[in-house]
Amino acid sequence: MGRLSGRTAVITGAGSGIGRAASLLFSREGANLVCVDRADSVAETAEMVAKAGGKAVALQGDAGDEAFVKSYIDRALADYGRLDVVWANAGISGGFLPLEEQTPDYWTEILRINLIGAFLAVKHASRVMIPQGHGSIICTASVAGIRSGAGGPAYSASKAGVISLAQTSANEFYGTGVRVNAIAPGLIETGMTKPIFDGARARGNEDKIGQLNPLTRYGLPDEIAQAALFLASDDSSYVNGQTIAVDGGLSSSHPVVRRKR
């Protein structure tokens, strides 16, 4: 019996990186999956789950679009008859555009995907979970949302919002049995962080990636997926409204190399 045996989980951003690692891990632990991403690679994730003996359907769409969010919740119920876990993991970084070049439209898009997308997942997951009296909702924040030094202004603001969303939503659902928590990854090798890793490797500095945290290394998608498995399972039955940093210790101080303008 796996830790998620017989349960249904929705994972957004499942087309690669952390979402794909979590899809494979949750499936091994017994979950039936709805894998969501705007990239067509989400179909490959579902195929990988199926080849490993699990059950997964793939849906392609925009995590910041309310009609689509409602549709992936409804698909979980239609295919599996229940909904136990929703992980709002999809997000974008916005790149490294200097603050003076950022526009309201730039900010709006980052907030729409990273924060409003998480809000919509919480909203539509809760409409199913509250009547049944249980459920775990997980949101992907970032160490960038804890304090300065780990991301750009718009990205960091969006992830600070996700941390607050987990706290306020947990209290909105007082007495319902529905838990809402967040994970704050540090530097993880994914498609989003590919420019950082590519640049370091091109300069021959790969061994310095992650050197600012006490473990002096970067993280892997499966290390974030393991934290999500904890929050999705009954092992975390008394954890609610929290943000768990999985960052090698970076957020204990957030050291940063300053760059002169």
Element (H, E) at 79: helix 66-80
Is residue 218 flagged as an active site residue?
no
What six digits make up the tokens of 40? 């067509």
At residue 245, the 3 state secondary structure works out as strand
Phi, psi angle pair for 260, to nearest 5°: -70, 145
Element (H, E) at 221: helix 221-232
The partner residues of 245 in beta bridges, in order of sequence, read 184
Using only C-alpha atoms, the chain has a radius of gyration, in whole angstroms, of: 18
Are 250 and 146 in contact, with CB atoms under 8 Å apart?
Answer: no
Residues 6 or more apart from 33 whose CB is under 8 A from it?
A: 8, 9, 10, 11, 14, 23, 26, 27, 46, 49, 54, 55, 56, 57
- Which one, of 54, 21, 59, lies nearest residue 40 by Cα? 59
User: Which entry of 155, 174, 218, 238 is annotated as an active-site residue?
Assistant: 155
Q: How far apart are CA 10 and CA 22, in angstroms?
A: 10
What six digits make up the tokens of 12? 């957004």
- Which one, of 150, 142, 86, 83, lies nearest residue 115 by Cα? 142
Are 61 and 121 in contact, with CB atoms under 8 Å apart?
Answer: no
Active-site residue set: 155
